[in-house]
Chains A and B, each alone.
Chain A
């Protein structure tokens, strides 16, 4: 379905819309900026990548998931696929560093959607840094416990 048509339906009211303090924000997982605008609203677009923090296991290095939007033209989710999939998204867990993840993002957005690409990369970097801090604290806590 065309992004323009969907936007006309969805821009006024949708489940991800949050209006607070005069700001129009979005909790859409495919939106990396947090603000609801036509281009940043990923769930209505054909290809979008959301960088999503997850409640991961404690000792995991990174609790980030890359959620990539699939073409939802009457496609069936492949249940046998390795990555957890759904009708509209395929998820990649970012495990060791952000190299692979950033390549996925760059490939998805290419040169034509630099703004979105940068937003996704920026979010990836920020989450990665936050995870590094968490990991450092975990290790320190484990060490303290051992003592």
Chain B
């Protein structure tokens, strides 16, 4: 990389003002994006906050149950001893039994925590930091950054001295980060499941992460009541906060001194890290990962053979040449001429033309005859219908007359 990308530091009071115009980007932001490392480290590190729990070791076993053995027409499972209660003679102890203990009861000495190699953890953190500087990744994670002036967002150290939440809120509003906070507020839901009875009633999204440097900074208290916002010191960057859920691209707001400290923390490609003993940033497999550009570059295209044109041997769908003229022509180019000759011969045939005229005359005559016959039929049917109606009328009037007479 001959040119180093530059970043501006914004004034805390005015988002259009820039206090430091061009600061070089710390080398961490150019670490290769390794979602595989991050997801591996995240799944393991996420287990480290777990608290031991277990089933009561006596659960389901507090009986003096014994198997009745064979020959009693019952299953051989241990049965509760004694008498005088429904419980006696019922099955006990097995995982399949009602009121029995579970199979493989959870023990407190289950391995709850995972250790991850330090180097892997550091690579994951570096990648996660790099991802916070890539806009599409932050968008993909779901942060609302359409009004944010710059990614990565670096602000002067003044925000570290914020004490009031109103100051913090106004700051977020000025820098377009409030949209993300609003998203957090509007998507707060009651958690599904029993956890809501165990102190985790709501599911709250993650908003912006504010990273500061000076240990005496008061901004923790200013920002902590803003929903979704987390505050962390640079020296204690946490993968679980940089890539929540193993998903890269948290929206991070850096203070100027925190941003400057990143080079000491993670080192550069020239110098190893000062603070992480012996840690060197991960090097990419490809310095230029833009495959499209490589393929289309002059150097590659010069050596590449010309593209093969695929020769089509036959149609994908078979066409019947006896019915499909184009298919016939493809097989036999002379067929077209043959067909033309045949049609010409037909036209030239004078007998053929006379026949047509004769047919026309015949047609006319037959049509006339048919019309005559159908007309006669119509008249006949009309007459018949009329006759029937007359009879009906006569009949019913006779009936009426008879009724009246009665």
Which residues of chain A have a CB within 8 Å of any CB of chain B? 1-6, 8-10, 13-16, 43-44, 72-77, 79-80, 86-89
Contacts and interface: CB of A to CB of B under 8 A. Distances in A.
B294 to A, nearest CB: 10
A87 B140 contact: no
Given A13-B247, A87-B145, A2 B290 contact: yes
B136 to A, nearest CB: 5
Interface string B140-159: 11100111111110000000
Interface string B18-40: 10000001000000010100000
A16 B140 contact: yes
B267 interface: no
A136 B35 CA distance: 51
B175 to A, nearest CB: 11
A96 B136 CA distance: 31
Interface stretch (B4-12, B87-95, B340-348): B4-12
B62 interface: no
Nearest to B18: A76
B35 A9 contact: yes
B148 A87 contact: yes
Nearest to B34: A9
A5 to B, nearest CB: 5
B211 interface: no
B136 A1 contact: yes
B102 interface: no
Contacts of B18: 76
Contacts of B292: 3-4
Contact of A72 (B35, B146, B149, B151): B151
Given A9-B248, A16-B140, A43-B136, A74 B145 contact: no
B135 A9 contact: no
Contacts of B150: 74-77, 87
A5 B30 CA distance: 13
Contact of B151 (A5, A43, A87): A87
A133 to B, nearest CB: 29
Nearest to B151: A87
Interface size class of B (residues with CB under 8 A): 35 or more
Given A4-B290, A87-B150, A9 B33 contact: yes
Interface of B: 5-8, 15-16, 18, 25, 33, 35, 131, 133-137, 139-142, 145-152, 176, 247-248, 288-292
A80 B18 CA distance: 14
Main secondary structure of the interface of B (DSSP, over half): loop
B289 A10 contact: no
Given A2-B291, A87-B150, A15 B136 contact: no
Contacts of B6: 74
A86 B148 contact: yes
A132 B82 CA distance: 86
Contacts of A72: 134-136, 151
A74 B33 contact: no
Contacts of A87: 135, 145-146, 148-151
A65 B8 CA distance: 29
A76 B149 contact: yes
B147 to A, nearest CB: 6
Nearest to B10: A76
A89 B291 contact: no
Contact of A88 (B135, B247, B248, B289): B135
A89 B151 CA distance: 13
Contacts of A14: 140-142
A51 B184 CA distance: 27
A21 to B, nearest CB: 22
Given A16-B140, A74-B5, A6 B146 contact: no
Contacts of A76: 8, 18, 149-150
A87 B145 CA distance: 8
B16 A10 contact: no
A15 B142 contact: yes
A87 B176 CA distance: 11
Nearest to A13: B247
Contacts of B135: 72, 87-88
Nearest to A4: B291
Nearest 10 Cβ contacts at the A-B interface: A15-B142, A14-B140, A2-B289, A72-B135, A2-B290, A74-B5, A86-B146, A10-B140, A44-B136, A88-B135
Contacts of B291: 2, 4
15 contacts: A1-B137, A2-B290, A2-B291, A9-B131, A9-B137, A15-B140, A76-B8, A77-B150, A87-B146, A87-B148, A87-B149, A87-B151, A88-B136, A88-B139, A88-B146
A86 B139 CA distance: 12
Contacts of A75: 150
B168 to A, nearest CB: 22
Contacts of A8: 35
A43 B137 CA distance: 9
Nearest to A8: B35
Given A4-B289, A5-B289, A9-B248, A43 B139 contact: yes
Nearest to B245: A13
